Amino acid sequence: MPGGDGALVPVSNENRGSVVVYPLHHGLNPPIARLAISWSRGNSLRVSVFRPPSEGEAGGKVVEVNLSNGDSEISDAQRRRIAYGSVSPFALLQSRRSSFSSLSKVPMTPSLYHLDWCEHVIEYSKDISSLLGGPKLPPSPIIEDPKAIFKKGEEPTYLKAAWEMMEIFYADKQSQAWLPERLVDWLADYDSLFSSTQATIHSKLVDFQKDIVNIQVIEDDSRYWEVISSALAVGWLDVVVKMLRLHGSYQLDQLSYRETENGLIEAVAVLISKMPRLRPESASGKLGECFKSKPDFNKAWEKWRAQITKLDCSAFWIHCDNLRTREGLKNMLQIMLGNIESLCMATCHWIELYISHFLYIRPFTMGIESMYSLAQKCIQSKPVSSAHRLTGLMIGILEENTEVVLAECSREYGPWMVAHAVELLTAGSEQAEILLYEERYNLGGISIGELHRLIYAQVLSSHALTWQIAPIYLTSCMKQGMSLLEILLYRQSVQHNELLLKNIELCRLYGLDHISSSIMKVAGVYHWKHGRKGSGIYWLQQAQDANRLHIIAQQLFDSVGKSISDESFKQWEGVIELLGSESKTAGGLEFLRKYRDFKKFLQQVPGGKSTEAARRAVDSLILLMKNPSTPQRFWLPLLYDSLKLLNWQDCPLLNVCETNLLLNKVQELSLARVRPDFKESSLPPEALSCVRLALATNLGRAILDE
Amino acid sequence: MAVTALSERPEIYRLPQYKYVDAVRWLPPLSAFDRFAVLALFDSDSDTSSIEINSFKPNPASLEPQSSWVSPSRVSSLKASQFLQKTIIAASTFAGSLHFLFSDSTDASLESEVSVPENELHHGPVSCVDLMDGGMECVSVAEDGKVNLVSVGNSSLNYRRVFDSSGLVSYTAARWASPVEFATGGYGFSLHWWDQRKPGGPVSQFKGNWDQKMTAGIVHSIDIHPSRKHTCLAGGSLGTVFAWDLRWQQQPIMLSRAGTVASDTEVQSVSEIMEFFTDIYLLSSFKNAEFSLGCLLVLLHSYNWTLAISEAFDKRKKLRRKPCTDFPFFISYQKRSNGIVLLNWRPILNLTFFVIPRQQ
């Protein structure tokens, strides 16, 4: 709500550029009393707008604002795919880094160390780059259109273009010698991305391609020659040769009387396809002759230039009567000879002019510094009206200004790019490594690299579908990663088992036992509260939370009834199974297990014969009665159940001490009966007196025995 | 550790989906040419769930949406079965409702839907539903401790409660064994065997005499092979897979588990086993052995799901397995169908098609 009377926060005009304004359509009349803002699903904010209480009007409204970044190039799903895909290359590089730093203690020649590390970085870079491909285009038709100049490949994306540019400059140390040629290839792949702000050679070619079917005599069209020389200027040799062969003189019916003209065209085409290139090898189908070493290339280059000059001075031109063809071809020769004016004419964007310099004027590697001054010169001769996402980055790289590169990455491509590009920036540049990995007081003791990694991890954490990969990034941050990881794991919902299990597994992976036990406690209480007693008990037991299990036990016995007769005990079987073996925490539920054992022994005492079995039953009865977790209301039923043990024929089974313990319990029970909150058991009324009598008899016999 | 490699590497195709895939199943095939898969999808951006029938095209591997139905809540469990030329899809939701979709088997169009509303059968999320093979009966279990049977008619449903533990036992898995028997699994590695002819409670309960070191966990998946109806195979927490033979109820056969491995016949695995399928046809090298079953395991690793194929385990308790992929998925395996598995690359919303060459 900027500007208008309803604005809550004034937005000054100077800040307009940097502030993104999302208009809210809440439809409430002013005044607005209160605003509450919270995160909603995904990338949405939930804004609750409240009015002061008044009659006859809505008190408030809740609206959702989708904070989409507006970058339609990459969809959210695609972004998630990239996020998941980049986890394993990132993790691999991190583990290699740690093994490398332990290795580096062993004396090793620094250059060898460097080379090895660069190999890892380039592998990482290639892995990441393969993820960034745009949507695949439909497969090319089987019958190739003879007039199709272009082969359509993957739809290029800015993200991939930027990543590859950084790879060329920072990571790919091995091909540093033929860096200009790599830039030529780069532009061939991504020239179309510059078309968004101004005309490019690519856009000219696309336009021409559209019209090509309507043109009768192709060589008479001025655009034909224009486009050919443009493509030549940026080194798209196969396109150039293909287009030259569309020339009318190649048609069989015209070949006879346009022989000279055709010969000249063919000579130029051959020269183009023989252009020496300083690169290891070119991709299949690309034209040009590749030379790996500079001296070889130099020789070939001189020879090639001599051939061009020779052709330029040839007498055949006079015999060529097609003016357009003659001028077009002559212009192409000028481009190949590196005529600056021709190059300027043929190119559109400064970056195209820049690339043409590498091809025809200075085909040798030069230092980054002179590359930068050359770029400045190109910008001067072809000024741009507005900044471009890729040129900003490129200038930053050429300036050798790591801060600018980082800022451009962050501004144009977001946290994913920065977090992953740091690895490229620091590869082989000590200066950048110091800049990015130096701990900074003003950042709370962390480095810039770690800060950006944390920012990216926060972005991942904020989405339900990506939070589980955030730990990889958090644990790679030495200073603050672990504490943020703990917060992240704490924050996850415990409602769905799958999520809960994953969360616990992550805790196990990072040795955060205290977190996983807290999470299990939360899950236990959550399930218990929602009536899922079994799962509640399970999770509390996993968390070894005897305290809560004790409280739960009291509630559980309350809810199920006063007595635990044979009938109702069946339903406890499941819980006892769940409690598992003796060794595990069961809290107050321990009673159930002991009671089950007692019952089992009691059942083994049929007809009062086996004294051995009866003794075991008595032992477990005493254990039960001694245990403080045995609820008072079960005392009488327990004693009543074991009457036959108390009245054992052969000998008294309980000694004096044990009988006294039980008598004390009976006494306590009689006292408790007076209390108002006492719950009467469902036993017959004479039960208590029966037990008392039996105990008294037993005591007498026991005393006599001793 | 008895781990051997599969002789051939499986082929894996990824079929990306742009929504979160909650579950995926093959539909029973009617002809050799048409293959359909049903997907439960969740769109996290718009917070909508749907069940979609897709036709599967093998070359190149792709899924084409045929028909779709909007679900009121996220799907927690999905099953499909065939009865009298009709395909029935049973889906349960996290809200507690049950839905039955009928589709035409020839063109996979959705014809009708009947449902049981939430709080009718279960309170809270339904853990698992299982449709009887070639029948109209569906068993549903949940953590609220209720076990229900639903008889699916063309336009009406009859349902009855088989058991209610009032939450004392929470169920997490269910599987039909025969037209009258089924097995359920739950917390503490509990397995219950139910027989409709003997109502009132489970007819058998698995009492695991786990040794002290063994920690109990959750049963995530049960499978009972039609030719070995007396053996209930369960997989769950901490990589545990065990076989419970009804004829020797006190002796579970441990096939895989975490921690120290007691003997060299067990396999160590620490991940949760989320889904679990057996197939007698998967492997024939143990033809004469008592347990000659191959099984597929879906493991949950902290960042993803992993598939392992246990080639076979026999009476010498051998489990051979091989992790095949390092990406997460869901799995639906169709018995006797040339070993085709449909997998789901879960967090990134990818669906994967997976072919295991049958080794005969």
Please identify among residues 575-604 of chain A the ones whose CB lies closer than 8 Å to any CB of chain B.
Answer: 575, 577-581, 583
What whole-number distance in Å separates Cα of residue B255 and Cα of residue B239?
10
Runs of H (alpha helix) within A191-221: 201-211
Q: Which residue of A has its CA nearest to B347?
A: A465
B-chain residues near A463 (CB < 8 A): 44
SS3 A641: helix
Of the candidates A465, A505, A527, the beta carbon closest to that of B20 is on A465
B-chain residues near A75 (CB < 8 A): 18
Are B71 and B91 in contact by the 8 Å Cβ rule? The answer is yes
What whole-number distance in Å separates Cα of residue B90 and Cα of residue B157?
12
pLDDT at A1: 40
pLDDT at A467: 82
Q: Domain map of chain B by residue range?
A: 8-140+159-168, 178-326
Rg (CA), chain A: 42
Tokens at B212, concatenated? 């002290």
Q: Domain map of chain A by residue range?
A: 13-66, 545-705
DSSP A464: T
Residue B183 has, within 13 A of its CA and on its CB side, a CA count of 26
Measure the CA dihedral A31/A33/A39/A42, to 10°.
Answer: -20
**How close is the nearest chain B Cα to the Cα of A503, in Å?**
8
Of the candidates A87, A88, A505, the beta carbon closest to that of B272 is on A505
**How close is the nearest chain A Cα to the Cα of B187, in Å?**
7
User: Do A530 and B124 count as a contact with CB atoms less than 8 A apart?
Assistant: yes
Of the candidates B123, B187, B274, the beta carbon closest to that of A535 is on B187
User: Do B145 and A498 count as a contact with CB atoms less than 8 A apart?
Assistant: no
Q: Taking each helix axis as running N to C, give the angle between helix A497-509 and helix A481-491, from 0 to 180 degrees, rounded to the nearest 10.
A: 160
A-chain residues near B47 (CB < 8 A): 41
Are B76 and B95 in contact by the 8 Å Cβ rule? The answer is no
Which amino acid appears at position A43 of this protein?
A: N
Query: Nearest Cα to B199, choosing from B211, B216, B175, B181?
Result: B181
Best of A79, A505, A509, A572 to disrupt the B interface (most B CBs within 10 Å) is A505
Alpha carbon A437 to its chain centroid, in Å, reads: 22
Tokens at B44, concatenated? 């996290």
Query: Nearest Cα to B109, choosing from B61, B30, B54?
Result: B54
Q: Which residues of chain A have pLDDT under 70?
A: 1-20, 41-43, 68-73, 103-113, 134-154, 282-285, 363-365, 428, 558-572, 580-588, 606-609, 677-683
What whole-number distance in Å separates Cα of residue A656 and Cα of residue B39?
71
User: Do B45 and A466 count as a contact with CB atoms less than 8 A apart?
Assistant: no
B-chain residues near A501 (CB < 8 A): 237, 272, 300
What whole-number distance in Å separates Cα of residue B75 and Cα of residue B91?
6
pLDDT at A276: 87
What burial letters (b/e) apply to A430-456, b meaning 16+ CB within 10 Å?
Answer: eebbebbeeeeeeeeebbbbbbbbbeb
User: Do A41 and B47 count as a contact with CB atoms less than 8 A apart?
Assistant: yes
DSSP notation for A218-284 = GGG-HHHHHHHHHHHHTT-HHHHHHHHTTSGGGSHHHHTTTHHHHHHHHHHHHHHHT-EEESS-PPT
Please indicate whether the domains covering B8-140+159-168 and B178-326 agree at the CATH topology level.
Answer: yes
Tokens at B159, concatenated? 């349902």
Which residues, at least 6 apart from A570, have a Cβ–Cβ distance to it below 8 Å? B201
State which fold the B8-140+159-168 domain adopts.
Methylamine Dehydrogenase; Chain H (2.130.10)
User: Do A496 and B348 count as a contact with CB atoms less than 8 A apart?
Assistant: no
pLDDT at B4: 32
Q: Say which CATH architecture domain B178-326 belongs to.
A: 7 Propeller (2.130)
Residue B315 φ/ψ, nearest 5 degrees = -70, -15
Measure the CA dihedral A98/A99/A104/A106, to 10°.
Answer: 140
Best of B75, B122, B128, B169 to disrupt the A interface (most A CBs within 10 Å) is B169
DSSP A476: T
Give CA angle at A228 (A223, A231), nearest 5°: 120
Please identify among residues 354-373 of chain A the ones whose CB lies closer than 8 Å to any CB of chain B.
Answer: none
Which amino acid appears at position A579 of this protein?
A: L
Of the candidates A77, A508, A574, the beta carbon closest to that of B165 is on A574
Q: Which residues of chain B have pLDDT under 70?
A: 1-16, 30-33, 58-61, 208-215, 255-271, 277-360
For β-strands B146-152 and B137-142, DSSP reports them as antiparallel
Which residues, at least 6 apart from A246, have a Cβ–Cβ distance to it below 8 Å? A147, A212, A218
Handedness of CA B125, B333, B187, B199 (dihedral sign): positive
DSSP notation for A382-450 = S--SS--HHHHHHHHHHTT-HHHHHHHHHHHHHHHHHHHHHHHHHTT-HHHHHHHHS--GGGTS--HHH
Which residues, at least 6 apart from B220, have a Cβ–Cβ distance to it below 8 Å? B172, B173, B185, B235, B236, B237, B272, B273, B274, B275, B276
Which amino acid appears at position B173 of this protein?
A: A
Residue A368 φ/ψ, nearest 5 degrees = -55, -35
User: Do A77 and B349 count as a contact with CB atoms less than 8 A apart?
Assistant: yes
Which amino acid appears at position B50 of this protein?
A: S
